[in-house]
Structure 1
Amino acid sequence: MTNSAKAPEMTAEQNKALELMLSGKNVFLTGEAGTGKSALLKKLCEKTNDKNTVFLAPTGIAACNIKGRTIHSFCKLGLGLQTEETIGAITNSRFMELLEAVDTIVIDEISMVRSDILWAVDNRLRAAASGRKQNRPFGGKQIIVCGDFFQLPPVVTTDVEKDYLKETFGGNFAFQTEIWEKAKFKVAMLKEQHRQSRDRVFYQILKNIRHGRLCEKNILLPGKETPVDVIDALNMCCYSKGNASKAPQAIALCTTRKQADAINGRQSSKLNTDAELFKAKITGSFPESEYPTEANLNLQKGARVMTLANKLLPDGSYEYVNGDMGCIEEISHTEDGLGYVSVRFDDGRSALIGAYEWPSYEYKLVYDRMSGKMQIKQIVAGTFLQIPLRLAWAVTVHKSQGQTFDRAKLFLGNGCFASGQLYTALSRCRSLEGLVLDRKIVKEDIIIDPDVVNFYESLESHAIAG
């Protein structure tokens, strides 16, 4: 990213999808990685800021990205499987009134929403509905879901959970539930590629991996006369002995948090500088699961870091944006306990980065004098003040979702263990030129869920946008 990064103009297919979402119909917004789903949700948020619209996501990071709440916190759901016995009745009258006042619920990262969680959202909204609306999907509310089921799946940790979800809802995914079918989602499928638009070979590789086309020899690499399959193409372009040392600025994408922490710790220990502690200042209600970075952040001169916020300049350009990478040059503390960190970015720019305040939002039902009605308003329930940086020698594939990297090293370790994991990791990178593999990819690394493949094949004939 550069200091002149600005929001791109909306494309025709994005405008068509936005029009559909503003029509009041239930919508499933989907598309490959890099097709602009997140940008479109931001535009939707701008268009609905004066309406009773609630933005939700399955994880704290995803909720922070859309300035919303987690599904669990908004719907007051407990941890673990959601069942008739565990979900409980709504006993808080104000919560009941809040749910009844909702017009639209937007759920991002729907691929990570377990089937029982979507069922629980429907259960809550029906319980708060009145009259015949109790018999309608989601209590008659408009539901917009956004995401790509070919990317990270829901977290299911035990065979007991897997068996329960299969028997009760038809599987782990939200699209396998009965309520998904009853909601009759209109499909807005984005097809124009923005992230890998300049590397057509890489784009073709990603499409093959996405759909599990592993044996088709249809990848013609530059300078080659014979097409190869997707695995050979990746290994020929991105793997060679010593590759990791040739990309010192590349972030390591890891399949596990343990591996990412080990790399960050190992690289930190190589620096001949002392770590300095920055303690976040937290006010009000800000759930720990939604912290945007470490509450106790250790930084040191020479460390590789990634920015976690944007800084807009008066001329409309950005001094830095979320995802910029660089190295710490200097660290200074101020009397308030925080301070400034000087970072030289990989493209040569330098910036003095001070504390950034993230809000934690809640939705409240308040009386609106202009309309004379009760309306849902998004209020700031708490704040998290911290230096907007994260150590960036390594990050998990999970935490990288939604990011774009110019250079990345993929550390597969013992291999991928979830469907869509390799596709998600590879699609974070802009080009083959910027991608390095720590070992050769094998067929077992590419895990494709056949239920997802069948689901998307059934969608193609019903898609509206694109």
Structure 2
Amino acid sequence: MRYQWKDIEWVFFDEASMIGYETFIQMDSRLRQLKKKEDEPFGGLNVIIFGDLLQLPPVKMTPIYDQPLRYLPAVHLWRLFSLVELTQNMRQQGDTTFADLLNALRVGELTAQHFQLLMTKILTEEDQVGEFGLHNAIRIFPKKDMVAAHNEAVLEYYRNLRVQMYTIKADDTLVNATRNATNVDIGSIVSTDINKTGAMPSQLVIFVGAKVMLRSNVDVEKGLLNGAIGTIKEIIWPNFRRDQMYPTDIPSVRIDFGRDGIHLIQPRAVQFPALRNYGTIERRMLPLILSWACTVHKMQGCTVDYAVIHLGSQLFAKGQAYVALSRVRSLDGLRIDELDCSKLTGKTPCNEEAIKEMERMRRYQMYRAL
């Protein structure tokens, strides 16, 4: 995001741990082009980067603080910044016991007392009603297949209640074709990976009461950002229809985002490359996915009051347990569906390289202060 205060322009990068160094270079290059200042880092703009380096690292990229050898001897962009460390925990500020546990987990220093505390939060049959029921508190899993299985289980629960559901299918069109696609099924040249289709799903089951997550930034000022979670309150069909008339109908929906209020979310169009070099696909669809469950990666940056978290054998990356647990405001809002203590010790819970970088920055700031 870019802001201007008086005559000074600022650029803010959020969630630094998710930005790879390769992306960092692209940001720098683009800002130099936009400001027409090729010799000044970030085009001469003032840049502030927010984030916790000990959260999940970027997928298939080098961490933002680690300059790859292939970029030497270029300027190490990360080393141009100074550290301002925030020490007050705002998310868990009302639960110091939980905050202490998280601080220990993020650096791999859990004690026996911490494990005993986590054991008291294991999900029980009594928890299956109320806030921690199947369709209430969000489930946070390490893997996509676990998320899909839980979301399908919740859909089946509502089907058994005979809730009226609608299947919404994306409207895909081939634009800017680079090959003759006259006899080609458009579905065969569209990726099944949502991350390669502009974050828009090909199909979505919705109903009044469904819990959904935004997959794009709709309105930053209103808090309607990628990752915002809410509940569908109304479905509005095209042309003032009272129901879905055609399989191709894509409605608008009113969603209650809690503290951010109720907002109208309309279908959006995105473009992405077609498979096998056929050109560009334009997809029109609601920018939503079901969210009774989400992966740890998708929850990064989110805050919830209640969650059921998987801390079992399926954890596979450093920082997953820390990020998952730290999404919740307090221990009262936490339940654990599986706990493998071995996954919270050793090298799995924390990123040693990120810890070393934090220590380096702290030493550098002390040296500058002398």
Q: Indicate the residue corresponding to 1:47 in structure 2.
A: 4
The 1:300/1:145 distance shift into structure 2, 3 A limit, reads: same
**Is 1:398–2:297 an aligned residue pair?**
yes
Q: Aligned partners of 1:123, 1:345: CA distance in 2, in Å?
A: 36
**Secondary structure of 1:253's match?**
strand
Q: Indicate the residue corresponding to 1:194 in structure 2.
A: 90
Deviation at 1:183, TM superposition (A): 4.1
Q: Is the contact between residue 251 and residue 267 of structure 2 (CA under 8 Å) also seen in structure 1?
A: no
Q: Indicate the residue corresponding to 1:208 in structure 2.
A: 104
Q: Is the contact between residue 412 and residue 438 of structure 1 (CA under 8 Å) also seen in structure 2?
A: yes
**Secondary structure of 1:190's match?**
coil
Q: Which runs of no fewer than 5 residues in structure 2 stay unpaired? A: 177-193, 241-248, 271-281
Q: Is the contact between residue 231 and residue 441 of structure 1 (CA under 8 Å) also seen in structure 2?
A: no
Q: Which residue of 293, 296, 304 maps to 2:211?
A: 304
**Is 1:456–2:363 an aligned residue pair?**
no
**Secondary structure of 2:83's match?**
strand
The 1:355/1:240 distance shift into structure 2, 3 A limit, reads: closer
Q: Aligned partners of 1:187, 1:344: CA distance in 2, in Å?
A: 38
Deviation at 1:308, TM superposition (A): 7.3
> What whole-Å deviation, never above 9, does each CA across 1:111-154 have from its counterpart, x for those lacking one?
123344445556777899999x64x6567665443321111102
Q: Indicate the residue corresponding to 2:237 in structure 1.
A: 333
**Secondary structure of 1:439's match?**
strand
- Equivalences for residues 215-230 of structure 1 within 5 A: 215=111, 228-230=112-114
Q: Aligned partners of 2:23, 2:222: CA distance in 1, in Å?
A: 40
Q: Aligned partners of 2:36, 2:330: CA distance in 1, in Å?
A: 52
Deviation at 1:187, TM superposition (A): 1.6
Deviation at 1:212, TM superposition (A): 1.5
Q: Is the contact between residue 323 and residue 404 of structure 1 (CA under 8 Å) also seen in structure 2?
A: no
Q: Is the contact between residue 234 and residue 441 of structure 1 (CA under 8 Å) also seen in structure 2?
A: no
Q: Is the contact between residue 11 and residue 46 of structure 2 (CA under 8 Å) also seen in structure 1?
A: yes
Deviation at 1:453, TM superposition (A): 1.1
Q: Which runs of no fewer than 5 residues in structure 1 stay unpaired? A: 1-41, 54-103, 158-171, 216-227, 361-382
Q: Indicate the residue corresponding to 2:14 in structure 1.
A: 108
**Is 1:447–2:349 an aligned residue pair?**
yes
Q: Aligned partners of 2:142, 2:51: CA distance in 1, in Å?
A: 20
Q: Indicate the residue corresponding to 2:128 in structure 1.
A: 245
The 1:128/1:250 distance shift into structure 2, 3 A limit, reads: closer
Q: Indicate the residue corresponding to 1:149 in structure 2.
A: 53
* Count of equivalent residues: 314
Q: Is the contact between residue 306 and residue 389 of structure 1 (CA under 8 Å) also seen in structure 2?
A: yes
Q: Is the contact between residue 406 and residue 430 of structure 1 (CA under 8 Å) also seen in structure 2?
A: yes
| Letter of the structure 2 residue corresponding to residue 189 of structure 1 | E
TM-score, L = length of structure 1:
0.54
Q: Which residue of 294, 316, 320 maps to 1:421?
A: 320
Q: Is the contact between residue 211 and residue 229 of structure 2 (CA under 8 Å) also seen in structure 1?
A: no
The 1:254/1:338 distance shift into structure 2, 3 A limit, reads: same
Q: Indicate the residue corresponding to 1:185 in structure 2.
A: 81
Q: Aligned partners of 2:229, 2:35: CA distance in 1, in Å?
A: 45
> What whole-Å deviation, never above 9, does each CA across 1:55-101 have from its counterpart, x for those lacking one?
xxxxxxxxxxxxxxxxxxxxxxxxxxxxxxxxxxxxxxxxxxxxxxx
Deviation at 1:290, TM superposition (A): 7.5
Q: Indicate the residue corresponding to 1:257 in structure 2.
A: 144
Q: Is the contact between residue 329 and residue 343 of structure 1 (CA under 8 Å) also seen in structure 2?
A: yes
RMSD: 4.8
> What whole-Å deviation, never above 9, does each CA across 1:410-452 have from its counterpart, x for those lacking one?
1245332111111111111111111110112413245212111
Q: Which residue of 330, 348, 353 maps to 1:431?
A: 330
Q: Indicate the residue corresponding to 1:276 in structure 2.
A: 166
Q: Aligned partners of 1:393, 1:124: CA distance in 2, in Å?
A: 37
**Secondary structure of 1:415's match?**
coil
Q: Indicate the residue corresponding to 1:9 in structure 2.
A: none
Q: Is the contact between residue 31 and residue 42 of structure 2 (CA under 8 Å) also seen in structure 1?
A: yes
Q: Is the contact between residue 107 and residue 144 of structure 1 (CA under 8 Å) also seen in structure 2?
A: yes
Structure 1, 422-431 or 439-448: larger mean CA deviation: 439-448
Q: Is the contact between residue 244 and residue 409 of structure 1 (CA under 8 Å) also seen in structure 2?
A: no
The 1:202/1:359 distance shift into structure 2, 3 A limit, reads: farther
Q: Aligned partners of 1:278, 1:394: CA distance in 2, in Å?
A: 20
**Secondary structure of 1:201's match?**
helix
Q: Aligned partners of 1:145, 1:210: CA distance in 2, in Å?
A: 20
Q: Is the contact between residue 243 and residue 438 of structure 1 (CA under 8 Å) also seen in structure 2?
A: no
Deviation at 1:196, TM superposition (A): 1.0
Q: Aligned partners of 1:304, 1:125: CA distance in 2, in Å?
A: 38
**Secondary structure of 1:443's match?**
helix
